[in-house]
Structure 1
Amino acid sequence: MADAFYVPLGAGRFLPTEHTSGPWTPDAQHFGPPSALLVRALEEVPAQREMMLSRVTVEILGPAPLRELTLTARLERPGKAVEYLSAELATDERVVARASAWRLAASDTSDVSAGLAEAPPAPGTCPPADWPSSWLGGYLQAVEWRVISGEVAGPGAAAVWARQRVALVDGEKPSRLQRLFAIADSGSGVSGRLDPAEWWFINSELTVHLQRPPSGEWIGLDATTTIGPNGVGTATSRLHDEGGQVAIGAQALLVRPR
């Protein structure tokens, strides 16, 4: 098995490895790697000037199987300062996920930067996460996890540091945003309020609003879940690097008994 989430096959085709498999079944991917792969495609859409992805939404249209996938991306709306992009991940039979993104012209606003949370304690000061033995390896083992606060396998809000142990695509170094999106989809899992053996809390999408690209390999995830009275919830996250906040993430959740 390659030391990566995906093996490139050429012509926009990728083969998932067992590193992508989620904690509940070996037959479906955790949606961190597919989200990062979609961002990879968005980053490859040519720009005429220096621009930055400001918001990316990944719509999850069904389980992502561990078989060959085709990735495409395009510029939907060009512009001088604001552009709209899309990407799609599909098997031969169906579309697995679609991503949409706004790309904005970059400029220097460092003198007026405000409202960003400070970084949590450094990863080296935080203990390793202890995942339940009943949760499958795959993605969980392909990422190094450090617990900042809360219980990652228990109920309630929690914060973690996470670092990929493997590449996104074999033979490539992941970009800063690819590293971010490989982790961002874990917010609902880290902050689940309910016992996953008794409840489903399935996210149908992931939306990330970016303030700046992260630096370094570690991504901080400070997450909490709220649950309404009608089977719908929301997981929200502040995403960090070791210098402070870089993005805000949110996931719509379907909540129901198993």
Structure 2
Amino acid sequence: MSSPAPEPYFRVVEEDKDQDGSVTRVEASGSTAGPWFPDAQHMGPPSALLVRALENESGRDDVRLARVTVEVLGKVPVGSLELRSRVARAGRTIELVTAELAAPDPASGATRAVARATGWFHGVVDTAGVATVPGATMPALPGREEGRPRAIPEGWLPGYLTSVDWRWVDGGLDELGPGRAWGRVLTQVVAGEEPSPVQRLAAVADSTNGAASRLDLRQWLFVNTDLTLHLHRAPRGEWTGLDADSVIGPEGTGTAYSVLHDEAGPVGRAAQALTVRPR
């Protein structure tokens, strides 16, 4: 008997547009919760929501999202959120769009920013005749049929982790070292909408540091303060592949990185800055 589909990550309560951009109010579901605290989101769903805001604010079919950076400003609660987006730099062949996610401060009740995103859109030009073969610079990833599902590690909470169909080729969330995995979001980013391939990719790519942990999570924290995606082509389909690794420096900072794939091959790279400290 198949399990019921997870709840959509977000439900839109209200959307509005004015001369300064767009304002969207959403309610987050339990599917966004991270593995440590039921009231705090994993950054995969908010990253996907911010990508949706960038795509919708641009609204153009003659440009493609080439780079996204998500800055993590604080804990993103499971609850009510406000999202603002605007075109920061309009142009014929390039466009910069920004989005900010805010939540009520539990202490003061005032709204505070918890995440920001910037997205560069590049104009579509036919460069197929001069394109570099991705396999020459980015190693191929074995297909998802070669991966295997794995149970959530003991003590980790459901929510985001069970909203993604994970197929592990190498490694695992509770194994040290590099990891290679495929992930497919099993739900909608926003209720009533089919997620775009880039939204799906962002939701999975934020797990780069978890897929390539170099330290024991029982003894160390290595939290990402950002996520940057560079895409050399538009992803297609539902599946995102991670070929991930990380490095820990000598002064409390690390970097996690991955080559991103869809089922047709590499599509780009992800990187995260990590703040590292003992528990």
What TM-score does the superposition give when structure 1 sets the normalisation length?
0.96
- The answer (yes or no) to whether the contact 1:198–1:257 under 8 Å persists in 2 is yes
- The answer (yes or no) to whether the contact 2:58–2:97 under 8 Å persists in 1 is no
How far off is 1:118 after superposition?
5.3
What TM-score does the superposition give when structure 2 sets the normalisation length?
0.89
Report the counterpart of residue 169 of structure 2 in structure 1. Answer: 148
- The answer (yes or no) to whether the contact 1:20–1:29 under 8 Å persists in 2 is yes
Task: Say how many residue pairs are matched.
Answer: 258
Give the gaps of 5 or more residues in structure 1: none
1:55 aligns with 2:67: yes
Report the counterpart of residue 220 of structure 1 in structure 2. Answer: 241
How far off is 1:72 after superposition?
1.4
Aligned residue for 1:4, secondary structure, equals coil
1:231 aligns with 2:242: no
Cα distance in 2 for partners of 1:131, 1:48 equals: 39
- Which residue of 97, 117, 126 corresponds with 1:99? 117
Cα distance in 1 for partners of 2:162, 2:6 equals: 14
1:10 aligns with 2:31: no
Query: CA-atom RMSD, angstroms?
Result: 1.5
Equivalent AA in structure 2 for residue 213 of structure 1 = A
Question: 1:182-197 residue pairs with structure 2 within 5 A?
Answer: 182-197=203-218
CA 1:2–1:221 in 2, change beyond 3 Å: closer, same or farther? closer
Q: Which moved more, 1:143-152 or 1:21-30?
A: 143-152
How far off is 1:24 after superposition?
1.1
Cα distance in 2 for partners of 1:5, 1:251 equals: 22
How far off is 1:190 after superposition?
0.9
- The answer (yes or no) to whether the contact 2:254–2:276 under 8 Å persists in 1 is yes
1:89 aligns with 2:93: no
Question: 1:3-42 residue pairs with structure 2 within 5 A?
Answer: 3-11=7-15, 12-42=24-54
Report the counterpart of residue 160 of structure 1 in structure 2. Answer: 181
CA-to-partner distance for each residue in 1:81-116, whole Å, 9 max, x for gaps?
Answer: 122110011113210100011111111111222152
- The answer (yes or no) to whether the contact 2:255–2:271 under 8 Å persists in 1 is yes
Aligned residue for 1:230, secondary structure, equals coil
Question: What is the percentage of aligned positions where both structures have the same residue?
Answer: 47
Report the counterpart of residue 65 of structure 1 in structure 2. Answer: 77
Runs of 4+ in 1 over 4 A off after TM superposition: none
CA-to-partner distance for each residue in 1:60-94, whole Å, 9 max, x for gaps?
Answer: 00010011011111111111212211001111321
How far off is 1:10 after superposition?
1.4
- The answer (yes or no) to whether the contact 1:119–1:242 under 8 Å persists in 2 is no
Report the counterpart of residue 142 of structure 2 in structure 1. Answer: 121
- The answer (yes or no) to whether the contact 2:13–2:26 under 8 Å persists in 1 is yes
Cα distance in 2 for partners of 1:13, 1:49 equals: 25
